[in-house]
């Protein structure tokens, strides 16, 4: 769990630094930085999509994932958590949305190949190198996100700890399912979700991104048969 703890602390430190950065920098610069993050998120999504090996797996996993996610309304559940945090910690007159910061940061930090592969490697071999690298990237990203979206980014550290910690603890059980083909398809499905998130950050869309998260689970399962 060392890698997960380091990653969690990195998000917290980056978030706190971002809040300080927010107070010292003009709002127009913060907005420009946020657009930059959105563009980078779109690029990461497009690059990840190219790693897929079977388009049919992507289509089926996204369709079924959307159905399951919408029926469960995962997006609303995560938003409610953000709303609860906002009601408890948001200061009067504060412009930034804790809910938006929490949801956006949670998805950016947890939907990606480094999250899955790094957590599995950490759990199976005790090698934390991938998670440490991800921690550095998340540290930098959390600074930028917190500067624009506020306190909600810091609370995303809890989601990072729970999500990645669960993967580490279940690593031995999951290993047989996650061969190179399965990981490629899971990465592709996650990349599509990241692309949608990037478009949301840029203000070009309002996708309920979290409702597509089941696709990340379905893709490697389908890869066992296709």
Dump pLDDT digits (tens) for 134-152. Answer: 999 899 889 988 888 888 8
d(CA 222, CA 161): 27
Alpha-carbon dihedral angle through residues 175, 177, 178, 180, given to the nearest 10 degrees: 130
Q: Which helix (H) or strand (E) holds 83?
A: helix 74-89
**Two tokens, residue 207:** 């996708």
- Per-10-residue mean pLDDT for the chain, 226 residues long? 93 92 78 86 87 92 96 87 70 64 87 80 84 90 87 90 90 79 87 90 88 90 90
Residues ≥6 apart with Cβ < 8 Å to 87? none
**CA–CA gap between residue 146 and residue 14 (Å, rounded):** 8
Say if pTM beats, i.e. exceeds, 0.85: no
Asked if 207 and 200 touch (Cβ cutoff 8 Å), the reply is yes
CA angle 152, 62, 103 (to 5 degrees): 5
Scan for tokens 């061969």, then name that residue: 179
pLDDT at 62: 96
pLDDT for the residue 151: 84
Q: How far apart are CA 109 and CA 26, in angstroms?
A: 26
């Amino acid at each position: 769990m060392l890698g997960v703890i380091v990653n969690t602390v990195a998000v917290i430190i980056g978030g706190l630094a971002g809040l300080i950065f927010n107070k010292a920098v003009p709002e127009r610069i913060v907005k420009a930085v946020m657009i930059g993050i959105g563009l980078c998120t779109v690029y990461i999504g497009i690059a990840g999509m190219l790693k897929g090996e079977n388009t049919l797996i992507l289509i089926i996993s996204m369709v079924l994932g959307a159905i399951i996610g919408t029926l469960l309304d995962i997006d609303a559940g995560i938003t409610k958590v953000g709303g609860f945090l906002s009601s408890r910690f948001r200061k009067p007159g504060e412009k930034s949305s804790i809910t938006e910061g929490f949801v956006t940061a949670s998805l950016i930090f947890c939907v990606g190949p480094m999250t899955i592969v790094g957590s599995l490697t950490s759990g199976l071999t005790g090698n934390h190198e991938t998670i440490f690298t991800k921690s550095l990237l998340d540290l930098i990203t959390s600074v930028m996100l917190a500067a624009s979206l506020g306190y909600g980014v810091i609370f995303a550290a809890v989601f990072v700890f729970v999500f990645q910690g669960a993967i580490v603890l279940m690593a031995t059980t999951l290993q047989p399912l996650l061969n190179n083909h399965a990981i490629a398809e899971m990465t592709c499905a996650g990349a599509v979700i990241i692309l949608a998130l990037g478009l949301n950050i840029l203000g070009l869309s309002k996708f309920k991104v979290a409702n597509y998260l089941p696709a990340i689970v379905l893709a490697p399962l389908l890869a066992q048969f296709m």
